Amino acid sequence: MMKVFHLNLRVKIMFILGCYVLGILSMGFVSYEDLRTTEEKIEILELAYSLHNIILEARRYEKNFLLYNEKEAFQENKRYLAQALVTEKAILSRSGKLKFAPMLKELDGLINAYSSDIEQLYGQKTRDTVGYDHIVDRLRDLGKQMTELTEKFVDFERNQIHAILTVLKRQLILWATVAVTLGVALPLLMIFKIFKPLSIVKNATEDIALGRFKSIEVINTKDEIQQVMEAFNTMVRELERRQDQLVQSKKLSSIGTLTAGVAHQLNNPLNNISTSCQIAIDELAAGDTEFLRRMLKNIDQETLRARDVVKGLLEFSRVQEFALRPSHLSDVVKRSVRLVQSQIPADVEMVVRVPEDLMFPMDSQRMQEVFLNLIINAAQSIKGSGRISITAWTDEQTNEVLIEVRDTGPGIPEEIQGQLFDPFYTTKEEGQGTGLGLSVVYGIIQKHRGNITVESAPGKGASFFIRLPLLEN
């Protein structure tokens, strides 16, 4: 099978520029040739005017000779005729192959015949003979033909120059049109073939900087631009995979943080189960059925309570593909609060104001990760007593869900607020945090096609505002 050869971008650009330069050189060469021809034509026209004037001077001395039979007039006539032959040869030497060459050869014959006749008249002693009058008539006829032929020659050369100038004007308009067209077409070609694809890559790169990993449509250019776009999509897929790994890594870190709290939450129901069992065993001999039923019911409730704690932890730790499904926001927030409850100091109040019927497309597991990180960060920022509140409402005008996670901590200095969502940036002491929590939160919100911002002032706490689409895009 024959291999298809594709030009790379550098060769394409060099080819386009080469064609442009070649076109300019061709236009210059053609115009130069026309100008050189015009220059030659002007020189010939000057000689043609000179030849015509020489013939007229020869005719003037011819008249003087015929009227007065002066020797000086005859000699001047001969001199001008000789000069006419020299001028004729000069013209033929410049352009012997042109169209008027036969015209000059005809003139050469007329001059020779004319010269022969005037010499014959000069040799005759008497002028009142029939032969003399015949020669005079022929001489005048030859002179008239020479004059008309040189006039025709001058007109011919003049028309030739006008024709060349007309062609030059048309060529100038044509070359100017071609140059302007190429001057417009080449930048447009560069824009659509090079700068437009690069602009697409640039915009997509800015989206990546904002946490939106979106592949771009590959333009089939068969050159480096297409390779760059394909490599960009490969990079996007790899970044998405790495982000998922980062989220899972942070999730495992969160699970480690929550383990002690979960153990504490399990310890209470297990103690209650153990106590109820011991009491039931002690009272078994008494045969109090109603009392035993209450103990068994208490055991069942505490078992369900422990199961919910373990179930919540398992659901949070499970790895699953990102998927948007209609979910109740209140359920996600409650599960998050339940998991992180042990991390909240006793003197920090937890307030949740989320409508029970507020439902919109979300990835419940990842949104749970968002709330866990925000609640833990808020709890760690509060020194002593305080409050953490989660409030949600809908914006009917923008068709969005607004969520505010607010704390009464010391606040966040304005100079570091722009760095909060950067990976590995943390204000905690070394060993106290990885700096991935808010970065993961930012990535999850961006993946939901939403955005998160922070408002804070020293001594006035901090508020994280989340905006998410109410409907799936």
pLDDT value at residue 344: 83
191 & 297 share domain? no
pLDDT value at residue 434: 43
330 & 189 share domain? no
d(CA 421, CA 435): 9
309 & 342 share domain? no
Angstrom CA distances, 25 to 32, 78, 174, stand at 10, 51, 14
pLDDT value at residue 301: 67
Q: Of 274, 303, 319, which residue is a domain's last? A: 319
Backbone angles phi, psi at 7, to 5 degrees: -75, 140
Q: Domain containing 461: what range?
A: 322-473
d(CA 455, CA 473): 27
376 & 238 share domain? no
Asked if residue 208 is part of any domain, the answer here is no
Asked if residue 211 is part of any domain, the answer here is no
d(CA 426, CA 434): 7
Asked if residue 130 is part of any domain, the answer here is yes
Angstrom CA distances, 422 to 99, 438, 445, stand at 85, 8, 14
335 & 425 share domain? yes
pLDDT value at residue 361: 93
Closest CA to 81 of 100, 108, 104, 46: 108
pLDDT value at residue 423: 59
Asked if residue 14 is part of any domain, the answer here is yes
Asked if residue 2 is part of any domain, the answer here is no
348 & 279 share domain? no
pLDDT value at residue 326: 92
pLDDT value at residue 9: 62
Quote the tokens at residue 9. Answer: 């971008």
412 & 286 share domain? no
pLDDT value at residue 272: 65
Q: Tell me the three-class secondary structure of 57-113, residue by residue.
A: HHHHHHHHHHHHCCHHHHHHHHHHHHHHHHHHHHHHHHHCCCCCHHHHHHHHHHHHH
Asked if residue 74 is part of any domain, the answer here is yes
73 & 161 share domain? yes
Sign of CA dihedral 106, 110, 116, 119: negative
Q: At how many degrees (to 10) do helices 101-123 and 71-95 cross?
A: 160
456 & 400 share domain? yes
327 & 410 share domain? yes
Domain of residue 54, CATH code: 1.20.120
Mean pLDDT per 10-residue interval, the chain, length 473 residues: 53 72 77 79 86 90 86 90 89 68 85 89 72 86 91 87 84 81 74 70 70 68 70 76 62 53 59 72 70 73 65 55 87 87 84 92 88 88 89 91 92 74 53 57 86 86 91 71
d(CA 209, CA 236): 11
d(CA 464, CA 459): 16
282 & 363 share domain? no
Structural domain total, the chain: 3
309 & 332 share domain? no
Contact 313, 255 (CB under 8 A): yes
Domain of residue 271, CATH code: 1.10.287
Q: Of 299, 319, 339, which residue is a domain's last? A: 319
Asked if residue 1 is part of any domain, the answer here is no
Q: Of 319, 350, 384, which residue is a domain's last? A: 319
Asked if residue 342 is part of any domain, the answer here is yes
Domain of residue 361, CATH code: 3.30.565.10
